[in-house]
Amino acid sequence: MHTLTTNNGLALPAVGLGTWPMTGTACTQAVVQALELGYRHIDTATAYENEADVGAALRTSNVPREQIHLTTKVWWDSLSPKAMRQSLEASLRALGTEHVDLFHIHWPGKDWDLARSIETLVALREEGKARHIGVANFPLGLLRQVIETLGAPLSAIQVEYHVLLGQQALLDYARSNDLLLTAYTPLARGQAAAEPAIQAIARKHGVLPSQVALKWLLDQDGVAVIPKASSRENQLANLGSLQVQLDDEDRAAIAALPKDQRVVSPAFAPDWNS
Ligand SMILES: NC(=O)c1ccc[n+]([C@@H]2O[C@H](COP(=O)([O-])OP(=O)(O)OC[C@H]3O[C@@H](n4cnc5c(N)ncnc54)[C@H](OP(=O)(O)O)[C@@H]3O)[C@@H](O)[C@H]2O)c1
């Protein structure tokens, strides 16, 4: 498995398994199967209500815990120091582990004390409950504040990114600050594979449209992907995207697609341009 790294020691397998919206036995079975197929990066969150199911998979699987990168996240209504700490401790209990490899603030808070939340995030890292810390769904301005004003030692950011949504400014900033970028909803929930241009590239190389969409992301320095897939077939196909070869003509065709098709923008989302 191809693994991305940062200077401060984060090792993030480039293809991970997204677990939302799987819960219960279906989630446990999908994670066990993914680990058998070679996945070593699992993405969960308190809000997905499946951490106990992911934990059951970790216990069932023969893969040692230290070989698995585990990401979880704290929800945006739990960003006071006390609530953040309780949230991570509950995640660790549900997952059955003493630490997570990466702990993200899932979304920016509302009327919150940013500095205190970030201070708590950093403290949880220093205590070893989270080996690395990051933020998800932070627009560039807020990310800059966290890094430049508050000096937080982040290792990664997680944002929606796919062939129909550009993230160049965040990606440039991440690269110049030694952060990895995890692309969530990397298949645009099927919309990427439905694009005729993506289908034409897939036909040309004899691969799947979903694999073209993932490889376009994986070819970019510092970008990991976490497609959610429940079936063995889709999990294997997504891992196999690492072997797909795209050429300049393919990249030009993908560059010409619209880059403003955001799939995930709930009512509590920040102003994406702030
Ligand atoms: N940080 C955040 O705020 C945030 C927000 C959204 C998502 N996420 C994370 O990102 C993960 C992925 O995002 P997502 O679930 O929104 O969207 P996605 O990964 O773009 O799309 C998932 C859909 O694609 C299908 N699929 C997967 N592999 C396929 C393949 N090879 N061929 C055809 N279809 C395929 C899946 O079906 P099957 O299950 O049937 O295989 C599922 O219906 C989530 O699970 C979650 O972990 C994070």
Place of tokens 């003493």: 98
42 phi and psi, to 5 degrees?
-120, 130
State the catalytic residue, choosing from 39, 48, 161, 184. 48
Angle between helices 209-218 and 196-205 (to 10 degrees): 90
Q: Which ligand 1 atom is at minimum distance from the Cα of 21?
A: 45
Query: C-alpha angle with apex 263: 41 to 232, nearest 5 degrees?
Result: 40
Asked if residue 267 belongs to a domain, the reply is no
Q: Whole-angstrom Cα distance, residue 43 to residue 46?
A: 11
Query: C-alpha angle with apex 21: 270 to 25, nearest 5 degrees?
Result: 155
**What does the DSSP 8-state code read for residue 117?**
H
Asked if residue 116 belongs to a domain, the reply is yes
Rg, the chain, Cα only: 18
**Residue 72 belongs to what domain range?**
3-188+222-231
Asked if residue 248 belongs to a domain, the reply is no
Pocket test for ligand 1, best of 31, 182, 185 (most atoms within 8 A of CB): 185
Asked if residue 155 belongs to a domain, the reply is yes
Asked if residue 118 belongs to a domain, the reply is yes
Are residues 264 and 188 in contact, defined by beta-carbon separation less than 8 angstroms? no
Q: Whole-angstrom Cα distance, residue 171 to residue 262?
A: 16
Q: Which residues line ligand 1 (CB under 6 A)?
A: 18-20, 43, 106, 136-137, 158, 184-190, 208, 210, 226-231, 234, 237-238, 264
Asked if residue 246 belongs to a domain, the reply is no
What string of pLDDT tens digits covers the 274 residues of the chain?
799 999 999 999 999 999 999 999 999 999 999 999 999 999 999 999 999 999 999 999 999 999 999 999 999 999 999 999 999 999 999 999 999 999 999 999 999 999 999 999 999 999 999 999 999 999 999 999 999 999 999 999 999 999 999 999 999 999 999 999 999 999 999 999 999 999 999 999 999 999 999 999 999 999 999 999 999 999 999 999 999 999 999 999 999 999 999 999 999 999 999 9
Q: Whole-angstrom Cα distance, residue 219 to residue 153?
A: 26
Asked if residue 241 belongs to a domain, the reply is no
- Which domain CATH number covers 11? 3.20.20.100
- Beta strand 69-74 with 3-5 is unpaired
- How many domains does the structure of the chain reveal? 1
48 catalytic residue (yes or no) = yes
Task: Give the residue, by CA position, lying nearest to ligand 1 atom 26.
Answer: 229
